[in-house]
Amino acid sequence: MKKLSSNEIRQMWIDFFQSKEHHFLAPVSLIPVEDPSLLWINSGVATLKPYFDGRKTPPSPRLTNSQKSIRTNDIENVGVTARHQTMFEMLGNFSIGDYFKKEAIEFGWELLTSEKWFAMDPEKLYITVFNEDEEAYKIWTEIIGIKPDHIFKGGRDTNFWDVGQGPCGPNTEIFYDRGIEWDPQNLGTKLLAEDMENDRYIEIWNIVFSQFNNDGHNNYTELPRKNIDTGAGLERVASLCQNTPTNFETDIFWPTIQAIEKMVGGNFQYSMENYPNPNPKQTRINTAFKVIADHIRAVTFAIADGVFPGNKDRGYIIRRLIRRSSIYGRELGINHTFLYQLVDQVIASMGQFYPYLATKKAIIVETIKNEETKFLQTLSKGFDLLEEMIKKEGKVSAENAMLLFESFGFPIEQSMEIARNNNVEVDLQGFEALLNQAKEKARSGRKELKAWDNQNELFTKMHVDSEFTGWQEMTHKDSKIVFMFIDDQQVDEITDTTGYIILDKTPFYAEKGGQAADHGTIQGLKGMGVVDDVQQGPLGQNIHRVNVEGTLSMHDLVEANVDQEKRIYTMKNHSGTHMIHAALREVLGDLVMQSGSYNDEFGLRMDFTFNRNITPEELITTQNLVLKKIKAAIKREVHFVSMQEAVDKYHALAFFTEKYDEIVRVVQFGDFSSELCGGTHVENTQVIEDFVITGIESKGSGVFRIKCLTSFKTVAQYYEQQWSEQLENARGLMNKYHQLKGSETAAEIEAMFELIENFKMDRQQIQEFKNMVWEFQQKVYFFEKQVALKNSNLKLAAYQNLEPSINENGIQQIKVYANDLNMQELKMLADQLRNQFAEVIIILMSESEQGNFIIVAVSETLQDKYPAIDLFKNMPGIKTQGGGNKHLAQGKFNK
Ligand code: ATP
Ligand code: MG
């Protein structure tokens, strides 16, 4: 086997598949695009779903990539097995309806064993196939020449890939035998045949034959178009090529481990001697090094892709990884923030293939450092909590171990050690059961979402071209109908019903890049279709949904008319989105990264990541900047150029969450804004007319959603509505004041209302106006309270001369009906009376339309003998409902 660096392995993989006519796809973001079924990109194929199910046509039917992937269900394996990372790179080759089993197996074998490529010893390679897949078994044994003792048949659990819905099929795995020293019990291929967890046979490559469609109820039918999907872990191949005990001593992680050793300053050292004969103490130390090296790499990549620590979803995973690293750092004697200092090393190790990491260094470092600092504060609370638990309960229950694990990131070993030092037990079994439950829940929670779309046969037939003319025009006079379908059936005509149409030329914009679809009409000689949606087909054709009256037929010449008003307002909003994006970056800095947007004729919203909250002043500055740029009438320019030119020459913002074709379209507004964009835009910024930010909300994990409006009409309406809402509110309050006032008046309120009524509407002063109405509201509320208090005092005065009588126990007691008092007033009266007499029981009742209320109050010296709550509950002749204590009880009663 050749000794190769990880960069050489990756390059060799790509070179090999390029030599077999595969198109190389650059890695994409760890954040899935338009795929709610996935939290993270977890495999190479996860980025290619639209190609696999036929929604999009790939740039080539043969593809290869090296895709960063995160598998959260492997986090607990990290540092424990030799072969798992949280984030790893999956090398892949894919066939979309092109080659199938034979070539896929042959390619795999050639790359691994040929002298020209990896040159692995064929004797060391072992194969598994699905037990019903005779075809694959035959290819391996008869064509490749694998001996029967090197190939094993597996069941559905190991050798069939199925997510419960959509494409699925058998797979074949390739393992590398690292030899008997990794097999202490000398079990040999039994480990493989029985799928036992082991460090001897390392799975390097999995080839999935995507052959069937699962309808969601485990009914399997052959796919119209069969695909190949493969994945091999770069880190595992590196570990074999570099002959290291685990993935962690490869050039990918070793420099980071060394950097940690340096920090620890000789107190702890990683030991390569610990394999394969482990010493438990050293294993723990090694694990700490490995976990930290793994987590810092995953965290660095995730933050670079715009994920920030938070309380849910991706943000929470990042937070957990940082916390776990911090805890493992303590195992190595590090009690301060340190993780952020390793970012440099990660960038040095990974930067060659991922040059963008270096450009994001500042934000990565800052984010990790903040999070570590915050955690160290929580952590000391966690330790206190654990000690308290131990003291109070004399053990650590499963629930508490889970709490420490989940909320504070305590590994169970840490809790156990502290418990051991205190001579108490941890309910380990219970903890493990809870952990499994939590994992199961996470798993099933995701499964419910539709993971894959069914492959659509219609889409695979839709090979017609369609040109988009809508950048220049909104009407096209002689478009030809080139494809039609209703539901999933291709048709030749659509009569008086809803169907779908593709035109050879169309001015209709299909929904994409955050811009809403155009609406309008398609007019033929024998019928007319109202277009209410346009979506992109597999070749990027615009597919119009039409409600047809009369008949539209294949090959008809039609006139396509876009609803101009809707389009024009949508354009203002789309250009407005570019404006707010550029302005936020100017005001807040380059950390602002757009993560999604939507604009239609009504308004726009944009999601973006940022690492802290945004102040109202910053929002105003941003809004003013946009307004200034609108006034400046900056001309729009459009360039069709290579990706490289777009970035170098036009400094276009390109995000790694999207794949771009070779030639890209740059939409530029002077030197203010430059973005890759296929949307329709105003000719110059003045056409946007007007702009207002109407709100911003945090969606957690450092993601914000900002909402804005453009155009004179819409913005004026917005301000008018805001203004009239305030005015309505003030008028309502004024009515209340008039009802309350009686003889009592408040000149201040009247004067202020006068000011409000006469305030001249002016958008610059909207905030001032809002403040004023708020203040007015406070004044009216205060007035209301005062009037109420005064009324109560008047009513209470009537009860001032009550005298106690002596009850059957010889105690002074006042028992009266005060039907004009409400509950609050009853309470005031009870307090007054109790203060008036040294030793008394007070029972006040009120019967009115509002209900029957009762309150019992008892003087301090009587409370133990005659607790108020007991008297309340046992009131003769009535049934009470309520609560209280020995001092006071209150509630309702029925007779
Ligand atoms: P394993 O059983 O070893 O966890 P898997 O069956 O989960 O592997 P696949 O889903 O088939 O793996 O992924 C394809 C390849 O990706 C594997 O053959 C392996 O080389 C690599 N791989 C999978 N998970 C990880 C991980 N957590 N860290 C590093 N490499 C991985
Ligand atoms: Mg796995």
Does the beta carbon of 372 lie inside 6 Å of ligand 1?
no
In sequence order, what E strands does 190-317 have?
Answer: 201-214, 220-233
Q: Residue 594: pLDDT band by 50, 70, 90 thresholds?
A: confident
Residues 582 and 724 occupy one common structural domain:
no
Among residues 539, 562, 585, the one where a domain terminates is: 562
**Do residues 205 and 231 touch, judged by C-beta distance below 8 A?**
yes
Query: What does the pLDDT read at residue 450?
Result: 47
Helix axes 361-393, 280-304, angle to 10 degrees: 130
Between CA 657 and CA 646 the distance in angstroms is: 17
Tell me the per-residue pLDDT of 240-294, one tens digit each, with 9 for 90 and over. Answer: 999 999 999 999 999 999 999 999 988 899 999 998 888 999 999 999 999 999 9
Count of residues for the chain?
895
- Domain range enclosing 830: 800-894
Mutational test site, ligand 1, from 236, 239, 241, 301, max ligand atoms within 8 Å of CB: 236
- CATH code of residue 494: 2.40.30.130
Between CA 67 and CA 112 the distance in angstroms is: 19
Nearest CA-CA partner of 686 in 832, 562, 792, 579: 579
Residues 50 and 181 occupy one common structural domain:
yes
**Which one of the ligands is nearest to 86 CA?**
1
Does the beta carbon of 513 lie inside 6 Å of ligand 1?
no
b/e per residue, 332-368, with b = 16+ CB within 10 A? bebeebbbbbbbbbbbebbeebbeebeebbebbbbbb
Residues 11 and 116 occupy one common structural domain:
yes
Mean pLDDT of all residues in 858-870: 92
Query: What does the pLDDT read at residue 447?
Result: 42
Q: 175 C-alpha to center of ligand 1: Å?
A: 11
Residue 455: inside a domain = no
Residues 121 and 20 occupy one common structural domain:
yes
Q: Residue 661: pLDDT band by 50, 70, 90 thresholds?
A: low
Tell me the per-residue pLDDT of 2-54, one tens digit each, with 9 for 90 and over. Answer: 999 999 999 999 999 999 999 999 999 999 887 778 899 999 999 998 888 88
Residues 691 and 720 occupy one common structural domain:
no
Tokens describing residue 156: 């559905």
Does the beta carbon of 90 lie inside 6 Å of ligand 1?
yes
Tell me the per-residue pLDDT of 113-149, one tens digit each, with 9 for 90 and over. Answer: 999 999 999 999 999 999 999 999 999 999 999 999 9
Mean pLDDT of all residues in 234-238: 97
Does the beta carbon of 68 lie inside 6 Å of ligand 1?
no
Please state the pTM of the whole predicted model. Answer: 0.73
Half-sphere exposure at residue 767, Cβ-oriented, CA atoms within 13 angstroms:
5
Residue 826: Cβ-neighbour burial (10 angstroms; 0-12, 13-18, 19+) = buried
- pLDDT above 90 covers what percent of the chain? 65
- CATH code of residue 810: 3.10.310.40
Residue 452: inside a domain = no
Q: Is 23 annotated as a binding residue?
A: no
Map tokens 């952990």 to a residue.
Answer: 435
Residues 49 and 187 occupy one common structural domain:
yes
Residues 591 and 701 occupy one common structural domain:
yes
Highest-scoring range by mean pLDDT, 180-194, 387-401, 435-449: 180-194
Map tokens 């992680």 to a residue.
Answer: 253
Residue 479: Cβ-neighbour burial (10 angstroms; 0-12, 13-18, 19+) = buried
What DSSP state is assigned to residue 35?
A: -
Q: Residue 566: pLDDT band by 50, 70, 90 thresholds?
A: very high
Residue 440: inside a domain = no
Between CA 589 and CA 587 the distance in angstroms is: 6
638 bridge partner residues: 667
Residue 453: inside a domain = no
Q: 74 C-alpha to center of ligand 2: Å?
A: 7
Between CA 480 and CA 554 the distance in angstroms is: 8
Tell me the per-residue pLDDT of 543-559, one tens digit each, with 9 for 90 and over. Answer: 999 999 999 999 999 99
**Do residues 346 and 297 touch, judged by C-beta distance below 8 A?**
yes
Residue 671: inside a domain = yes
Does the beta carbon of 329 lie inside 6 Å of ligand 1?
no
Mean pLDDT of all residues in 629-634: 97
Does the beta carbon of 84 lie inside 6 Å of ligand 1?
yes
Nearest CA-CA partner of 334 in 281, 287, 376, 283: 376
Residues 44 and 120 occupy one common structural domain:
yes
Among residues 499, 533, 562, the one where a domain terminates is: 562
pLDDT: which is higher, 425 or 408:
425
- CATH code of residue 626: 3.30.980.10
Residues 207 and 101 occupy one common structural domain:
yes
Residue 433: inside a domain = no
Mutational test site, ligand 1, from 84, 125, 295, max ligand atoms within 8 Å of CB: 84
Nearest-atom number in ligand 1 for the CA of 78 is: 27
Mutational test site, ligand 1, from 65, 86, 90, max ligand atoms within 8 Å of CB: 90
Q: Is 555 annotated as a binding residue?
A: no
Tokens describing residue 548: 């047809």
Nearest CA-CA partner of 310 in 585, 41, 704, 607: 704
Q: 326 C-alpha to center of ligand 2: Å?
A: 25
Residues 275 and 305 occupy one common structural domain:
yes
Residues 81 and 133 occupy one common structural domain:
yes
- Which sign, positive or negative, has the C-alpha torsion 308, 311, 313, 318? positive
- Total domains, the chain: 6
Among residues 795, 819, 851, the one where a domain terminates is: 795
Q: Residue 629: pLDDT band by 50, 70, 90 thresholds?
A: very high
Query: What does the pLDDT read at residue 543?
Result: 94
Residue 441: inside a domain = no
Q: Residue 237: pLDDT band by 50, 70, 90 thresholds?
A: very high
Does the beta carbon of 205 lie inside 6 Å of ligand 1?
yes
Map tokens 């006469």 to a residue.
Answer: 758
One-letter identity of residue 757: E
Q: 253 C-alpha to center of ligand 2: Å?
A: 20
**Do residues 565 and 578 touch, judged by C-beta distance below 8 A?**
no
> Residue 656: is its pLDDT beyond 80?
no
Q: 233 C-alpha to center of ligand 1: Å?
A: 6
Query: What does the pLDDT read at residue 232?
Result: 97
Q: Is 708 annotated as a binding residue?
A: no
Residues 542 and 655 occupy one common structural domain:
no
Residue 660: inside a domain = yes
Mutational test site, ligand 1, from 203, 204, 210, 230, max ligand atoms within 8 Å of CB: 203
Q: Is 681 annotated as a binding residue?
A: yes
